A and B are shown apart, each in its own frame.
Chain A
Amino acid sequence: MSGDTAVRSGDTVVRSGDPIVRAIGLAKHFGQFQALKAISLDVFRGEVLCIIGPSGSGKSTLLRCVNQLEKVTDGALWVDGELVGYRREGDRLYELTESQIARQRLATGMVFQRFNLFPHMTALENVIEGPVQVLKRPKAEAIAEAKTLLARVGLDHKADAFPVELSGGQQQRVAIARALAMKPKLMLFDEPTSALDPELVGEVLTVMRDLARSGMTMIVVTHELGFAREVASRVVFMDQGQIIETGPPSEILTRPGNPRTADFISAVIS
């Protein structure tokens, strides 16, 4: 596998052991339309993988397959050593039940483009909902941890605010805290800054940068090439449902090997 080579991010070598995500020949169809075509990809623990590409290139679909918001139609996908969505018995793959899928999802945390905070709950209630309702943690403990997380994203003073009372950037930071509260092994970001006013992008990227520095494994679908250049250990360029090229940001973003990548990057920058 190509993923066996060490990947460098700044000065640190981040590749280690088994990949946390492994996709082999992954495909996804929506009726006649093929959103993903034979995707093979390894993501290693501690890596920050940025997926870039034009809209409709399948990058969000790939992310949504990782936490099973979309069902893979062909190929195989492993997350944290477990086959996603299926159980192997002999030479057959049996589909998992809904509760088994829900349990598999606990390995990942997801941050959405449109935040998707629960509007009928305060920021704090949003963050403790998963730990209390799904992980069955004692409420007092969950509240204490949620307050720490909200402080980490700079919003401890907004714990009792409803989402509607927060700016887009603040909502997205609460959403990150909500995902982190489940102690995921992998964080997925689906264009986390695309729905934000330009002046609010920075505060969200700052939180993500801190998270990356703390060693969290992250897969980030983004149009923020500056963020990718600075934080990513690897950049994946996708187009028309395929991975066109993969490499360290210094390579992909400055001297891309494929003309399609070059076209996309110059279009985004200009």
Chain B
Amino acid sequence: MLNQAAGRETGTDIAHLRHVPRRYWGRYVSAGLILLFLGFLVDASAHGKIEWRFVGQFLTVPSILYGLANTIIMSILAMALGVVLGVIIAIMRMSANPVLRAVSLGYVWLFRGTPAILQLLLWFNLALVFPTVGIPGVWEARMVDVMTPFVAALLGLGINQGAYSSEVVRAGLLSVDTGQYEAAKAIGMARLKALRRIILPQAMRVIIPPIGNEFISMVKLTSLASVIQYAEILHNAENIYYANARVIELLIVAAIWYLVIVTILSLGQAQIETRFARGAGRRGTVS
């Protein structure tokens, strides 16, 4: 068939014809439908019972900004604790020492196996189990004074995150070629130094995208701390609408701030990924 067609139309006949790109009618139609739907949403919210001026008004009140700051601080600290614990737990999991391996497995099993909100409540109510904390005779304090909402939220979220991060870190460590461990050993490096200097920097390339993902989850997970009276943004938004009954407006205020934080984090992640791509074939050819 092809040969016959080629026989009828000689090369010179066809070579000067104009090229017409394919039309994607489906895209025009679907874009139109979506615009229509968005228009409907805007119209509905304009006529619905949302007072948008309240949204604008409450977006920057001190209580909301204070809550925002607390959300950001808790996200960063809990995530930092989670990543540090995650690295330690992952290294323990890959250790030759069976005791360390068992501890690591137990940790992940326990903290990944129970809901984060339950863990937060347990930490917050620890005073019911241990009324005092400290070393007898040296230093002692009442647990209710130590286990503030901030401390309980940090421990609850950070330790929970450690269980998830450890699996991410482990995946990263496993992604590094065993030849790298051997080369590090061959120049006389001890195991921990090899991990720090050779293995982890390479594992970072694999670790960063899912950790970025986890960080974004963490920002939203901090809202759970509202149940233990930690003054993060959702908690403070709730306190305002308990007083003025502007429920939806204040929830929208909180939603806007969450979106702002997550957007900034997403941009930051791209920057970090570029940094750890060092020597990973961006300049040369990958063999």
Chain A residues near B (Cβ < 8 Å): 67-69, 98-99, 102-103, 105-106, 108-110, 112, 114, 116-122, 129-130, 133-135, 161-166, 168, 175, 178-179, 182
Contact = CB atoms under 8 A, between A and B. Distances in A.
Nearest to A171: B287
Interface stretch (B29-37, B75-83, B186-194): B186-194
Given A162-B283, A164-B280, A164-B287, A119 B189 contact: no
Nearest to B202: A120
Contact of A116 (B182, B193, B278): B182
Contacts of A118: 180, 183-184, 198, 202
A112 B179 contact: yes
B26 interface: no
Contacts of A103: 188
Nearest to B96: A98
Interface string B139-182: 00000000000000000000000000000000000000101101
Given A112-B182, A116-B182, A164-B287, A98 B190 contact: yes
A116 B189 contact: no
A69 B182 contact: yes
A121 B189 contact: no
A118 B203 CA distance: 12
A119 B191 CA distance: 19
Given A133-B197, A164-B285, A116 B187 contact: no
A119 to B, nearest CB: 5
B197 to A, nearest CB: 6
Given A162-B283, A164-B281, A165-B283, A117 B183 contact: yes
A164 B183 contact: no
Contacts of B202: 118-120
B182 A134 contact: no
Given A129-B187, A164-B284, 10 more contacts: A68-B185, A116-B177, A116-B180, A118-B180, A120-B280, A134-B187, A134-B189, A161-B284, A162-B284, A166-B284
